[in-house]
Amino acid sequence: VQLVESGGGSVQAGGSLRLSCAASGLAYRNYFMGWFRQAPGKEREGVAAFDVLGGTALYVDSMKDRFTISRDDVEDIWYLQMNDLKPEDTARYYCAAGRSIYRPLDASSYLYWGHGTQVTVS
């Protein structure tokens, strides 16, 4: 399994970014895809997750009105649309995939990780 993130960058507060995660090697349909972030000196935290088999999205409450997880089924690319960005959203953002996940917004539940993409909001 390979996950490659892109789309990060620097943006002013109130702006938007769309992160991408190109996934390959996921040869099964019952898995979760998650987005996480980690700021310097802080633990990795969940942002959003998607249950592929169930077709449902989950969000951290503080982000659900600003962030949206989606997928291009044909290209197998996952997206995280981020609107109304705030300086506290500054972090390195990661996508992750895994199966048999009971806590979809818990980073420790995921087996496969990308290397991340940096988002800086000023």
Instruction: Express each pLDDT in 63-116 by its tens digit.
Output: 999 999 999 888 889 999 999 999 999 999 999 999 878 899 999 999 999 999
Per the CB < 8 A criterion, the answer to whether 9 and 16 are in contact is no
What confidence score (pLDDT) does residue 2 get?
A: 95
* Closest C-alpha to 89, from 70, 67, 109, 58: 67
Pairwise CA distance, residues 38 & 103, whole Å = 18
Report residue 27's pLDDT band, with 50, 70 and 90 as the boundaries: confident
**Rounded to whole angstroms, how far apart are CA atoms 35 and 104?**
10
- Region 55-63: mean pLDDT is 93
Using CA atoms, how far residue 25 sits from 3, 28, 29, 81, in Å, is 9, 9, 11, 24
- Positive or negative, the Cα torsion across 59, 60, 65, 68? negative
> Among 22, 18, 17, 82, which Cα is nearest to 47's?
82
Pick from 11-15, 25-29, 52-56: least confident? 25-29
Other Cβ atoms closer than 10 A to 111: 12
Instruction: Tokens for 116, please give them.
Output: 């991340």
